[in-house]
Amino acid sequence: MKTHNDSITPLSLDRARAIVGYAENEFASGRHIEDAFTPFAGGGAATRFEAVQALYIVIADTYRLVSVRRARSPDEMNHFDKYASFTGELSWRILCDNIRDPAKVPDVLGDQETVQSFVGYLKTLNPASADFWPDVYKRIGLDYPTERDWKPEKDAAASGKRAWWRFW
């Protein structure tokens, strides 16, 4: 089994967005998804842990968007908290959906941080700080990519799809 740090391609912000964006579209399709990892694998995640790490990076990106670009408006923070709540269950499913013996769940989860704890950590950071991304990556057990690779997200409204957990 691969560990938290094993990855074929570095998990950049753009790659995390692509993985999670693909999964969001799959969940938005309304089809039954037995194993929550499947859409993340379809989006490019090599392992279950990488899928969760991608999800955490997107949670941090969403938090940063709400905090910096939208000035932490109460409505936007409420939407973010709802988003984080939905992703909490999803992250657990990504890691555990393939386990048929519930007694093995603690072994799989190991020291995996919960979304609730991760969001609490994010709220201690200054999202406008240059250290924000290096701190986020360190928290989830990854080296921060040295090359910045940020591109604006595609307009979700143009595709006509709205992921079930996206509120804006």
What pLDDT is attached to residue 69? 74
What pLDDT is attached to residue 148? 55
φ, ψ of residue 39 in degrees (nearest 5):
-65, -30
Separation between Cα atoms, residue 61 and residue 127, nearest integer Å = 9
3-state helix, strand, coil in the chain (%, to 5): 55, 0, 45
Angle at 69 between CA 164 and CA 148, to 5 degrees: 90
The 10 Å Cβ neighbour count of residue 81 is: 13
* Best CA proximity match to 55, nearest among 37, 82, 69: 37
- Enter the pTM of the model: 0.80
- pLDDT means per 10 residues in the chain (168 residues)? 51 95 92 94 94 96 86 83 90 84 65 89 94 96 73 42 45
